[in-house]
Amino acid sequence: MDSELLTHARNAIGFMPEAEGLALYEAGSASAGRGPLLEVGTYCGKSAIYLGAAARRGNSVLYTVDHHHGSLENQVGWEHHDQRLVDPETGHLDTLPWFRRTIASAGLEDCVVAVIGSSTTVAAHWQTPLALLFIDGGHAYEVAQSDYESWSPKVMAEGLLLFHDVFENPEDGGQAPFMVYKQAVEDGWRPVSETGSLRVLRKAAN
Known catalytic residues are 139
Distance of CA 205 to the CA centre of its chain: 24
The interface mask with ligand SAH, positions 5-44, x = CB under 6 A, is: ---------xxx------------------------xxx-
Q: Shortest distance, CB of residue 206 to ligand SAH, whole angstroms?
A: 29
Do residues 103 and 112 touch, judged by C-beta distance below 8 A? yes
165 binds, among Mg ion, ligand SAH, none (CB under 5 to 8 A by kind): Mg ion
* Chosen residue from 28, 36, 58, 137 binding ligand SAH by CB under 6 A: 137
141 near ligand SAH (CB under 6 A):
no
DSSP string covering 101-146, please? HHHHHHT-TTTEEEEES-HHHHHHT--S-EEEEEE-S--SHHHHHH
* Chosen residue from 15, 126, 141, 167 binding Mg ion by CB under 5 A: 15
Q: Would residue 196 be called left, alpha or beta, if left means φ above 0 and alpha means ψ between -120 and 50 degrees?
A: left
Q: Is 14 exposed, middle or buried (0-12, 13-18, 19+ CB in 10 A)?
A: buried
Residue from 130, 123, 124 nearest 161 by CA: 130
Cα four-point dihedral sign 150, 127, 131, 42: negative
> Is beta strand 155-163 parallel, antiparallel or unpaired with respect to 198-202?
antiparallel
47 binds, among ligand SAH, Mg ion, none (CB under 5 to 8 A by kind): ligand SAH
Of all residues in the shown chain, the one whose CB is closest to ligand SAH is 14
The interface mask with ligand SAH, positions 38-57, x = CB under 6 A, is: ---xxx--xx----------
Q: Which stretch binds ligand SAH (CB under 6 A): 64-72, 83-91, 167-175, 186-194?
A: 64-72
The Cα diameter of the chain in Å comes to: 51
The interface mask with Mg ion, positions 135-174, x = CB under 5 A, is: -x---------------------------xx---------
58 binds, among Mg ion, ligand SAH, none (CB under 5 to 8 A by kind): none
Residues interacting with ligand SAH, by CB under 6 A? 14-16, 41-43, 46-47, 65-71, 95, 118-119, 136-138, 143
